[in-house]
């Protein structure tokens, strides 16, 4: 689609939205039901596309992509009428007698930009919130997951009015500026790297367009001396090497208390081999050669104590544990986004704070401990987006929790009711009695 054609289509979407077509409860519910039905209809096609792009097995596809999105839809359908209803609030003495309430309204035409690592879920989960809130949306999937992008084009194009939902493909570095510089979206929702997020934010600022930025960061995982070693090793291994480590909320590095390092590493290796090495079915692939080359360079910046076998033929790297990281190495400055896991030992709390402070405001923090006091200490004294105690990454699966970062790891939150709020404007209304 040419630039002028894109702009013309966006204007038509704005006019269509202004007519009020998408604002009724019936319309919103119908679109959510339709999206759910279409996803189920294309279930096998979705599995095939995700396998082609990232070698994801069906179980992983369901848990992290399709099933995750279906759960978002179901939650929205269950609560939609309640979310849309005016919310009564108190009225102060100055305005008595009177009534006050908050009225949510759609923002308008939304732009949703998704990355390649979870190409279906990270495009459609925000869309669920945008639909529930009564908006129209332009969807930009990642060009680096072409099979999934092509299938999404079919799913959206064949089943939804193009002036309500429009999927746009192409090189993001060209397509996104062409749209944002020529048209004022009512909200931009971006998931991806911090570097690109800054560019999105800069373009949005020119038109005072509000943004939600779901970015990355180096998410630490603290393993205390009293942690349940078997539980910690099992849960870290399952999460970290899922999708070949290409997950924004995966533990980026381990901070293991030195008193348990040996036994913990032994148990972690045992779990990695059980889940991924002996059964290649559960292990995905790196997205492309660029990602492979970057990760291979990281492997040179420390001592590999386990794994890390590389295959240039299929651009694969086996799960790797790395220690003795070179001071100032990019391995500890940049988000890894792959199957490499640095292991750092500590003895005093100050060491943990100093290490985490070098990459402030991580997207997530994980703490493994049997002590309520220790868990409270770490979660209340370290700024981060969200996290888990005695688990990793699964906080994002709870619809009742906001998901998002802070600082360099993002701004704004979504999931469940928080998605509805993100894509709504809250009008404050005061109604006074007819008294003279």
pLDDT tens digits for 329-365? 999 999 999 999 999 999 999 999 999 999 999 999 9
Do the strands 87-89 and 410-411 form a parallel or antiparallel pair, or are they unpaired?
A: unpaired
Per-residue pLDDT for 435 more than 70? no
The residues of the chain that CATH labels 3.40.605.10 are 3-215+405-432
d(CA 179, CA 47): 31
Q: Over 60: is that where the pLDDT of 216 sits?
A: yes
The secondary element (H helix, E strand) that includes residue 257 is strand 253-257
How far apart CA 231 and CA 351 sit, in angstroms, is 24
Read off the pLDDT of each residue in 60-87 and give the average, rounded to a whole number: 97
**Predicted structure pTM score:** 0.95
Q: Is 322 in contact with 340 (CB distance < 8 Å)?
A: yes
Q: What digits encode the pLDDT tens for the residues 227-267? A: 999 999 999 999 999 999 999 999 999 999 999 999 999 99
Give me the active site residues, please.
214, 248
Strands, E, within 25-97: which ranges? 87-89
- Backbone φ, ψ for residue 383 (5° rounding): -75, 130
Per-residue pLDDT, averaged over 322-329, amounts to 91
> How is residue 137 written in tokens?
């949306």
Measured CA to CA, the distance from residue 183 to residue 168 in angstroms comes to 15
Instruction: Tell me phi and psi for residue 62, to 5 degrees.
Output: -65, -50
User: If pLDDT is split at 50, 70 and 90, which confidence band does 282 have?
Assistant: confident
Question: What pLDDT was estimated at residue 277?
Answer: 78
User: Does residue 148 carry a pLDDT above 70?
Assistant: yes
List every span in the chain annotated with CATH 3.40.309.10.
220-397
Query: Distance between CA 6 and CA 64 in Å, rounded?
Result: 32
pLDDT value at residue 96: 87
Q: pLDDT tens across 2-23, in order?
A: 667 888 999 999 999 999 989 9
Spatial CA neighbour of 236 closest among 247, 250, 246: 250
Check residue 6 and give its pLDDT: 87
Q: Per this entry, what is the length of the chain? A: 436
- Candidates 302, 297, 301; CA nearest to 317 is 297
CA 90, 91, 96, 99 dihedral sign is: negative
Q: Which residues pair with residue 211 across a beta bridge? A: 188
| Number of C-beta neighbours around residue 310 at 10 A | 14
- The token pair that represents 64 in the structure block: 């992290």
Residues 6+ apart with CB under 8 A from 61: 46, 47, 50, 51
Q: How confident is the model at residue 280 (pLDDT cuts 50, 70, 90)?
A: confident
Confidence of residue 300 (pLDDT cuts 50, 70, 90): very high
Q: What percent of the chain has pLDDT over 90?
A: 91
d(C-alpha 100, C-alpha 390), whole Å: 43
Contact 341, 285 (CB under 8 A): no
Count other Cβ atoms within 10 Å, centred on residue 436. 2
Considering the segment(s) 3-215+405-432 as one domain, its CATH architecture is: 3-Layer(aba) Sandwich (3.40)
Q: Is 331 helix (H, G, I), strand (E, B) or coil?
A: helix
In CATH terms, the fold of domain 220-397 is Aldehyde Dehydrogenase; Chain A, domain 2 (3.40.309)
């Amino acid at each position: 689609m040419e630039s002028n054609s894109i702009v013309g289509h966006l204007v038509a979407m704005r006019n269509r939205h202004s007519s009020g077509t998408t604002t009724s409860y019936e319309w919103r519910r119908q679109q959510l039901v339709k999206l759910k039905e279409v996803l189920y209809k294309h279930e096998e096609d979705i599995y095939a596309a995700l396998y082609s792009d990232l070698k994801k097995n069906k179980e992983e596809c369901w848990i992290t992509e399709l099933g995750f999105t279906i759960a978002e839809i179901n939650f929205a359908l269950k609560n939609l009428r309640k979310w849309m209803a005016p919310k009564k609030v108190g009225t102060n003495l100055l305005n008595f007698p009177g009534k006050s309430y908050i009225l949510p309204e759609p923002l308008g035409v939304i732009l949703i930009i998704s990355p390649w690592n979870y190409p279906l879920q990270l495009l459609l989960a925000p869309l669920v919130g945008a639909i529930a809130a009564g908006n129209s949306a332009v969807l930009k999937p990642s060009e680096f997951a072409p099979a999934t992008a092509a299938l999404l084009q079919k799913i959206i194009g064949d089943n939804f009015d193009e002036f309500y939902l429009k999927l746009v493909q192409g090189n993001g570095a060209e397509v996104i500026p062409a749209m944002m510089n020529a048209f004022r979206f009512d909200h931009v929702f971006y998931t991806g790297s911090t570097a690109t997020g800054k560019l999105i934010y800069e373009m949005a600022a020119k038109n005072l367009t509000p943004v939600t930025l779901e970015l990355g960061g180096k998410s630490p995982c603290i393993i205390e001396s009293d942690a349940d070693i078997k539980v910690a090793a099992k849960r870290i291994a399952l999460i970290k090497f899922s999708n070949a480590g290409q997950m924004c909320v995966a533990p980026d590095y381990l901070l293991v208390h030195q008193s348990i390092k040996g036994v913990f590493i032994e148990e972690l290796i045992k779990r990695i081999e059980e889940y991924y090495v002996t059964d290649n079915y559960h292990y995905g692939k790196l997205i492309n050669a660029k990602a492979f080359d970057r990760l291979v360079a990281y492997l040179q910046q420390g001592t590999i104590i386990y794994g890390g076998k590389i295959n240039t033929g299929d651009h694969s790297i086996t799960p790797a544990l790395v220690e003795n990281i070179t001071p100032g190495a990019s391995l500890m400055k940049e988000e890894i986004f792959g199957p490499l896991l640095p292991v750092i030992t500590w003895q005093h709390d100050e060491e943990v704070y100093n290490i985490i402070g070098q990459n402030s405001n991580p997207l997530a923090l994980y703490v493994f401990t049997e002590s309520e006091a220790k868990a409270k200490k770490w979660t209340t004294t370290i700024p981060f987006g969200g996290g888990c105690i005695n688990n990793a990454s699964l906080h994002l699966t709870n619809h009742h929790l906001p998901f998002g970062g802070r600082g360099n790891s993002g701004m704004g939150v979504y999931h469940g009711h928080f998605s509805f709020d993100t894509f709504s404007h809250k009008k404050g209304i005061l109604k006074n009695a007819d008294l003279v």
